[in-house]
Amino acid sequence: MSTIGRLCQHCGEPFTARLADVARGWAKFCSKRCKAIEQESRTGQHAKHVARKASAPRIRTNVPVGGWQWRDSKGEFHYPANMETRHLFYTLRMIWNNFMPADARVGAVKLYEFGRFYTRDYLKQAIYRIAEELAKRDDMRPEWAAQLLQMRAWFGSAHLSISTGPLSVERAA
């Protein structure tokens, strides 16, 4: 194998290159790092890739299959029909109180921070799906039923919009 001494076109460091690589026009850089730096300065290829990746919609992993499910704080999914009434009610109230205006809140209010998985659309669906399941239950405590009625009354006087904010609400005219 024949070699020749060369100078890196990026950093100027000497390196040994194979004559066959020189003949092909490849032996211009001492390392892959120097080649990548020079190529990026010439083409902007990596910067374009980073910008494209940042603007691309994220593909969610661990998404439930076979119908809508609630994702709990541990990342586990549950069909509303399989959840206890107590768990369903407190989940609905938590979502409701965190994403509705202060005058729409019901019961005890504790504000939470939701992760990136809990998009506006997902939480809007959660309100509808969980409320729908609670309507089928016959083991509701009276105070839960009263708070659920307050939430339903809000739907009678307002409608949900996902145009701004986590779940923005506009009063019906």
Q: Give the CA count within 13 Å in the CB-facing half-sphere of 21.
A: 15
Residues, the chain: 173
Residues 6+ apart with CB under 8 A from 94: 110, 112
Question: Which residues touch 139 (CB under 8 Å, ≥6 apart)?
Answer: 85
Q: Which two tokens stand for residue 158?
A: 């307002």
* pTM of the full structure: 0.54
Q: What is the pLDDT of residue 164?
A: 37
| Spans of the chain, pLDDT less than 70 | 56-66, 155-173
Partners of 4 in the β-ladder: 17
Are 12 and 29 in contact by the 8 Å Cβ rule? The answer is no
Q: CA angle, 83 as apex, 80 and 102 as ends, to 5°?
A: 70
At 135, list the tokens: 């309507």
Neighbours of 63 (CB within 10 A): 11
The pLDDT of residue 66: 65
| Rounded Cα–Cα distance for residues 69 and 76 (Å) | 9
Please name the residue that has the structure tokens 């999914």.
Answer: 77
pLDDT value at position 21? 94
